[in-house]
Amino acid sequence: MKSSFTVVPPAPVTDKIIISLRGGIKNDSCREKNLHVAFYLNEMSANGKLYEEHIKLKGGESRLIKFRQPSSKLPHGSHKFIMLTEGVDCKEILESPICVEASEHRSTDKLAGAWNGFYHWSEEEGRLWNADIKNLSSEQWCEQVRGMKELGLDIIVVQEMFRNQEYYEKHDIPKTSYNGKAYYPSKLFPGRMEISCPDPLEAIMAESDNLNMKVFPGIGMYAWFDYTADSLEWHKKVASEIWELYGHHPSFYGFYVSEEGGGDLGGTDKAKHERIDFFRKFKRHCATLAPDKPVMLAPNCWYVKNGLDAWPEFLKHVDIICPFAFHRMNEDDISGEESAEIFQSLCDDAGVHLWMDMELFLFDKTGALYPRPLDGLLSDLRRFPNFEKILGYQYQGIMCSPKDTVRLGGKEAVTLFNEYKNYMSSKFHKGPHERKKQKRHNLLV
């Protein structure tokens, strides 16, 4: 028997959300097993028990045991969740830390993580750093992880593990003729991206293990917004290979589908049905590999009302939705706040986690991405307080630690890194004297 334990979202969280405890159990024997599974808070006792279930697993069968825990019912501060799995000849105990913070809303008022791109798909958008990023060594990718950790960006979302550049350039090649190049030592396809590091995912996951960070490997890129049957089969193969190569890492947190999409789920009935079918089958496949690992998609937030007929069914087949572009809605669309409210209602009804993909960049006159001023980031944090986790797109080339041996994005990226670090220090890391002054000020006000 093998079991694993994932808590969504990872710590820290506020006292205004629902936490998912996800236990994945695989019977790796050839005979049926009767198992007792229980979740506890802090101690394995009657007082600490949150949930229990008795299950029967056939040989080779896997199962997800899921329990939703309101954070409002947990004491504030640091704790641990415990998962116990036991049978006649087996017993496993797994733990996951949790920290609950008092808050007036769902958000923690800070970035929880960021996208991590091994090379930007657009030479135009990545013009300011693509020439440098492709030459990073394994150690320099570890520097990137350490820089993120310094800012409290503990969740890494890898943008893609393949580049299908021929599709990007031509858009009319047959979908069955995949010509992608891998960023890692893949056995599925012979092509390799022309980057110096032979396996950047291994580098960042190993370093993330050391720093207790979480990583979503990007299962993509087949082609933007492509959820056809051919794309589905490709994604299933890649997910299996990624899990086989990297699933042993404690930092492996979930599966991210890179192809993105619109808030209208493609707009047409055909596109909506295609997306629903894709994620139904992809999630089912991922459950055979790692039942507890969540599946995440990051669509934009535009024209979400046009997808209301399909979102309830679609949300049955994902665990986390992480929309983006709330601060730049189209003139004929609703406001960003209205879109966020609709997404929250949909996710609440479906029991799905709602995170935000916050854009950390702006476009210059040539279309290149450059760091967005800190005021823009803080504006989004204030405007959209309902997202339980906020991830930034992207770290590379937009934020850069002054300690890095290669300054991706140059001095502007270093400036944003330092300004956000100062914001974090002033807001969340006050010393005893400052905290006492703040408490006195609050009483006076």
Residue 52 maps to which CATH number?
2.60.40.10
* Same-domain pairing of 338 and 276: yes
pLDDT of residue 294: 98
* Same-domain pairing of 56 and 139: no
pLDDT of residue 175: 52
* Same-domain pairing of 294 and 242: yes
* Same-domain pairing of 58 and 156: no
Model pTM score: 0.93
Q: Nearest-CA neighbor of 391 among 363, 365, 353? A: 353
Instruction: Report the amino acid identity of residue 82.
Output: I
Q: Nearest-CA neighbor of 144 among 205, 232, 188, 71? A: 205
Block residue for tokens 């799905």: 352
pLDDT of residue 18: 98
Domain boundary pick from 80, 101, 122: 101
Q: Is residue 264 part of a domain?
A: yes
Question: What's the total number of domains in the chain?
Answer: 2
pLDDT of residue 176: 53
Domain boundary pick from 101, 124, 155: 101
pLDDT of residue 177: 62
* Same-domain pairing of 215 and 118: yes
* Same-domain pairing of 86 and 230: no
pLDDT of residue 89: 87
pLDDT by residue for the chain (445 residues), tens only, comes to: 889 999 999 999 999 999 999 999 999 888 999 999 999 999 999 999 999 999 999 999 999 999 999 999 999 999 999 999 999 888 999 999 999 999 999 999 999 999 999 999 889 999 999 999 999 999 999 999 999 999 999 999 999 999 886 655 555 555 556 778 999 999 998 899 999 999 999 999 999 999 999 999 999 999 889 999 999 999 999 999 999 999 999 999 999 999 999 999 999 999 999 999 999 999 999 999 999 999 999 999 999 999 999 999 999 999 999 999 999 999 999 999 999 999 999 999 999 999 999 999 999 999 999 999 999 999 999 999 999 999 999 999 999 999 999 999 999 999 999 999 999 999 886 554 444 444 443 333 3
Q: Which domain holds residue 65?
A: 2-101
Which H, E and C letters describe the chain, residue by residue? CEEEEEEECCCCEECCCEEEEEEEEECCCCCCEEEEEEEEECCCCCCCEEEEEEEEECCCCEEEEEEEEEHHHCCCEEEEEEEEEEECCEEEEEEEEEEEECCCCCCCCCCCEEEECCCCCCCCCCCCCHHHHCCCCHHHHHHHHHHHHHCCCCEEEECCCEECHHHHHHCCCCCCCCCCEECCCCCCCCCECCCCCCCHHHHHHHHHHHHCCEEECEECCCCCCCCCHHHHHHHHHHHHHHHHHHCCCCCECCEEECCCCCCCCCCCHHHHHHHHHHHHHHHHHHHHHCCCCCEEECCECCCHHHHCCCHHHHHHHCCEECCECCCCCCCCCCCHHHHHHHHHHHHHHHCCEEEEEEECEEECCCCCEEECCHHHHHHHHHHCCCCCEEEEECCCCCCCCCCCCCCCCHHHHHHHHHHHHHHHHHHHCCCHHHHHHHHHHHHHC
